[in-house]
Structure 1
Amino acid sequence: MMDLANGGVDFNQTAALRPPAVVLIPGLAMSFYVWLNLFTTIPYPGKIGLDYNTLGTDWMVFYGAIRSVLDGNALLIFDGDRFTDFLNTTFAGWLSKPLEFRPWAYPPSFLLILLPFAPLGFFGSYVAFQIATGALLAVALRASAGNTLPSGFLLLAALICPAAAINAIDGQAVFLIAALIVGGFGLLEQRPYLGGLVLGLLTFKPQFCILVPIALVAAGQWRALLAAGLSALAMMIASGLIFGWELWLRWIPVILENLVSPNPKWIEYGRMWGHSVYTCAVLLGAPERLASWVQLLATLGAAASVVIAFRSRLGTREKTAVFLAATVLAAPHSGPYDATLLVIATAFWLMAREAPLPLWCWTLAFMIWLMPMLSPPLLLPVGRIVPLFPVLLIALLLVPGFRPPRRDSGAFFSIFGAAARETSGAGARGNDYTP
């Protein structure tokens, strides 16, 4: 029963979206285990699960970079060995053992995002960033749920999954990435300029924005594409004016050089500890050159899936789910925390299916939920099949035989977009984005 007139929720659907106990109990147990790992890492690193050394080792790179720039030592961040030595010296009292190699590989525009957190000190900024980005993701997901189901289902799926715990342990930025993707595509239907501006912010981590222009072109969202380009350009100009243009002049050739001839230390201590297509191919025995070609084919396949999705009549959530899965597949480097994107994509896929959901759907969702437990593939051979999960999820969303029946999923507007419409009194405007 559903009270649509009052914006009610379909209670039958709500019940159907509750995982069966055979999936829910082990899923929550595994999530609790990883979160327990977080709370035991400082006093007993490695005693429960993987040895993460200490909390916030990736945030050390972020915080160390912004502090170096603000302290007048900006060029340090482009020397991977010296920057690693700087981190080991600065955080010696926090680390349980020295970091082996932690270079800065992000564009200077990322420093704009880090700037407001710099005055809080290392630990304060680490905690504040996780809370702020987690809250932003919660807002985007709550808006995306609409009247389809209680937003708590989607929020819990994204914010308590094992991947989210690992994101918090490392001090990574996947909450922000997910919030920008979900919020940006959620705004496209009614506020294409604002949606494009949000999506353009993804350029702070380039591996997660490479499919954005492809999606917008496929959808015919030219206004959003223009806005995304302006957003990225504005971040570039602002970072150049605030931190100096020398950072960009140094970063661009460094990135081009790494694309042609990657630093062997980065391959050994960074990329091989992730679970990208390249990493898993190498670990399965492929030569590095062949693995690079396999990664390129995966990226092209991911781009093709985004084109198909955004030219189709799938709903906004399903298109966003394809984009999230394709983004993980296409990324030349990804970590276990990035599986948060796949958890959200899986939740969107489940929401698009007719109730009741068969057990195989919940089993697949459970396997994706547990993906971080199979990481790193370097240590756990079974984890080398991880790239198959986004491929399978994309197929289930796009292949006609598996595609969920189309259902009216209701409005998919961000809270910000809705507030803007109420303030201006403007009605819904038509555009060339097919929900």
Structure 2
Amino acid sequence: MSIHAKPGAISDVSSDRTWLRRCVLPAAFVASLYGWALLVSTFIRPGSIGLNLIAPGTDWMVFYGAVRSALAGHLQLIMNGDDFTAYLNRAFADWLSSPLEFRPWFYPPSFLVLLLPFAPLGFIGSYFAFQMASGGLLVAALKIGADAVSGRHVTAAVLLSPAAAINIADGQCAFLVAAIMIFGIRWLETRPVLAGAVLGILSFKPQFLLLVPVALLAGRQWRGLVAAACSTLVLAGASAVIFGADLWTWWGAQAIANLASPEPKWIEYGRIWGHSLWACAFLLGLPDRLASLLQLMAIAASAAATFVAFRSSLGSDKQLAVLLAAAVLAAPHSGPYDAILLVAAVALWLAGEIKAPNRSHWLLGFGIWLVPLVSPPALVVAARFAPLLTVALIGLILSELREPKRLEVGAVA
């Protein structure tokens, strides 16, 4: 027997589709144009549109400067934030429109191993090569297991987003982080060892690795969990062999010290300019201890949400969307470029709603789309409430677990 929708329901769906085409998608397109105009202006005249990013690839300067210094045996330079910043200002004086204030190297030494292939290309060549390579990996990851139509929609949304433009402008590695997470989760069922090995690479940016073990434990992916641990150790061991163990001794001590008492200059020029829940809460006037407590609560809540998602009957893409969003919420430090993870999460979640859009869902997606443009929270008050959008996204995805299975319009009983 055919199940027919009420005429009013069909009319509502048609109205929502019209609203989507005429309102949300054009507004999102305009926002993207602005984001990409900001990228172009940063090459031509930094600061002429939006926030002055000083020069293209200022974060890539840190990555490139660190690996070149390490290869030259100047490890002490990497270990001193002030000296390293002065080195960057000297080395890239002709590229920068104004000097960098403070750009230390805070990444684990394992990141240097991933940067090695780009070191011989020179700064500009390596900058573009890294963005193209990491962007290509992200596209490949998004196409795994996806049907042709939804795959195209999700890939286009991620690559055209303002977050993608900001990632390229800063020369950051959010494409790579997202690609690793998507590859790893989508390969878990068919290639658990390879999936775990890929996820272990995420140890180069440990704030986004926090929830990966939770997801693997919840999904009872024991082989993946062991492979991830082995991959992490292999990458760390390779960096110790290539660059020496002293760099790890320094980084470990620094990581512990920053947890107990963060360096004031890093707070002033780095963390406070990020998008973490701590930064947003602190900028809204909460005391540092309370803001830190909220960040710890966010980590615990994100871990719980991830565990529930991966232990549940949610589809794999919705589980992945929860992990991507929760990883950003839990991260003690994140930037506008890391919103690429949120955009990917939203796109994966909404991919099934293109034919029958839900207005509130798409408005939430549009709000997340705008996050990198109303940035940073240190300057834009509205951005300080952005973590609430991430919480809402995770909550809406998990709320589907309480809904009864719905029959599609036109289905045959």
Pick closer, same or farther for the CA change 1:406–1:264 going to 2, 3 Å.
farther
CA shift at 1:21, angstroms? 2.4
The residue that corresponds to 1:5 in the other structure is none
Q: Name the aligned partner's letter for residue 281 of structure 1.
A: A
The residue that corresponds to 1:388 in the other structure is 388
Q: Identity of counterpart residues, as a percentage?
A: 53
Pick closer, same or farther for the CA change 1:279–1:54 going to 2, 3 Å.
same
Q: Is the 8 A contact 2:154 2:351 kept in 1?
A: no
The residue that corresponds to 1:6 in the other structure is none
How far apart, CA to CA, are the structure 2 residues paired with 1:150 and 1:304? 29
The residue that corresponds to 1:172 in the other structure is 172
The residue that corresponds to 2:119 in the other structure is 118
CA shift at 1:236, angstroms? 0.8
Q: Which residues in structure 2 correspond to 1:47-196 (within 5 Å)?
A: 47-147=48-148, 149-196=149-196
Pick closer, same or farther for the CA change 1:57–1:117 going to 2, 3 Å.
same
How far apart, CA to CA, are the structure 1 residues paired with 2:118 and 2:18? 38
3-state SS of paired residue (2:44): coil
TM-score (norm 2): 0.92
Q: Which has the higher helix share?
A: 2
How far apart, CA to CA, are the structure 1 residues paired with 2:285 and 2:407? 44
Q: Name the aligned partner's letter for residue 27 of structure 1.
A: A
Does 1:256 find its partner at 2:256?
A: yes
Q: Which residues in structure 2 correspond to 1:182-221 (within 5 Å)?
A: 182-221=182-221
The residue that corresponds to 1:349 in the other structure is 349
Q: Is the 8 A contact 2:194 2:224 kept in 1?
A: yes
Q: Is the 8 A contact 1:166 1:337 kept in 2?
A: yes
Q: Is the 8 A contact 2:46 2:53 kept in 1?
A: yes
CA shift at 1:127, angstroms? 0.5
Q: Which residues in structure 2 correspond to 1:414-429 (within 5 Å)?
A: none
How far apart, CA to CA, are the structure 2 residues paired with 1:51 and 1:407? 51
CA shift at 1:352, angstroms? 4.3
Does 1:284 find its partner at 2:284?
A: yes
CA shift at 1:354, angstroms? 8.3
3-state SS of paired residue (1:373): coil
Pick closer, same or farther for the CA change 1:384–1:125 going to 2, 3 Å.
same
How far apart, CA to CA, are the structure 1 residues paired with 2:350 and 2:402? 12
Q: Which residues in structure 2 correspond to 1:227-306 (within 5 Å)?
A: 227-306=227-306
CA shift at 1:338, angstroms? 0.7
CA shift at 1:384, angstroms? 0.7
The residue that corresponds to 2:22 in the other structure is 21
Pick closer, same or farther for the CA change 1:38–1:354 going to 2, 3 Å.
closer
Pick closer, same or farther for the CA change 1:381–1:388 going to 2, 3 Å.
same
Q: Name the aligned partner's letter for residue 245 of structure 1.
A: A
Q: Is the 8 A contact 1:17 1:350 kept in 2?
A: no
CA shift at 1:361, angstroms? 2.1
CA shift at 1:373, angstroms? 1.4
How far apart, CA to CA, are the structure 2 residues paired with 1:202 and 1:336? 19
Pick closer, same or farther for the CA change 1:16–1:240 going to 2, 3 Å.
farther
3-state SS of paired residue (1:387): helix
Does 1:398 find its partner at 2:408?
A: no
The residue that corresponds to 1:309 in the other structure is 309
Structure 1, unaligned runs of 5 or more: 1-11, 409-435
Q: Is the 8 A contact 2:20 2:357 kept in 1?
A: no
How far apart, CA to CA, are the structure 1 residues paired with 2:405 and 2:348? 13
How far apart, CA to CA, are the structure 2 residues paired with 1:401 and 1:196? 27
How far apart, CA to CA, are the structure 1 residues paired with 2:119 and 2:30? 36
Q: Is the 8 A contact 2:55 2:95 kept in 1?
A: yes
Q: Is the 8 A contact 1:214 1:303 kept in 2?
A: yes
3-state SS of paired residue (1:374): coil
How far apart, CA to CA, are the structure 1 residues paired with 2:348 and 2:19? 14
Q: Is the 8 A contact 2:314 2:401 kept in 1?
A: no
How far apart, CA to CA, are the structure 1 residues paired with 2:249 and 2:403? 47
Q: Name the aligned partner's letter for residue 29 of structure 2.
A: L
CA shift at 1:20, angstroms? 1.9
CA shift at 1:349, angstroms? 1.1
CA shift at 1:254, angstroms? 1.2
Q: Name the aligned partner's letter for residue 46 of structure 2.
A: P
Q: Name the aligned partner's letter for residue 134 of structure 1.
A: G
How far apart, CA to CA, are the structure 1 residues paired with 2:405 and 2:268? 45
Q: Is the 8 A contact 1:318 1:352 kept in 2?
A: no
Q: Is the 8 A contact 2:295 2:332 kept in 1?
A: yes
The residue that corresponds to 2:4 in the other structure is none
Q: Name the aligned partner's letter for residue 182 of structure 1.
A: I
What is the count of residue pairs matched by the alignment?
394
The residue that corresponds to 1:430 in the other structure is none
Q: Any idea what the Cα deviations from partners look like across 1:305-346, whole Å, max 9, x if unmatched? A: 001111101111010000001000000011111111111101
CA shift at 1:150, angstroms? 4.3
Q: Name the aligned partner's letter for residue 111 of structure 1.
A: L
The residue that corresponds to 1:30 in the other structure is 31
Q: Is the 8 A contact 2:150 2:351 kept in 1?
A: no
The residue that corresponds to 2:10 in the other structure is none
How far apart, CA to CA, are the structure 2 residues paired with 1:401 and 1:200? 29
Q: Is the 8 A contact 2:89 2:100 kept in 1?
A: yes
Pick closer, same or farther for the CA change 1:181–1:18 going to 2, 3 Å.
farther
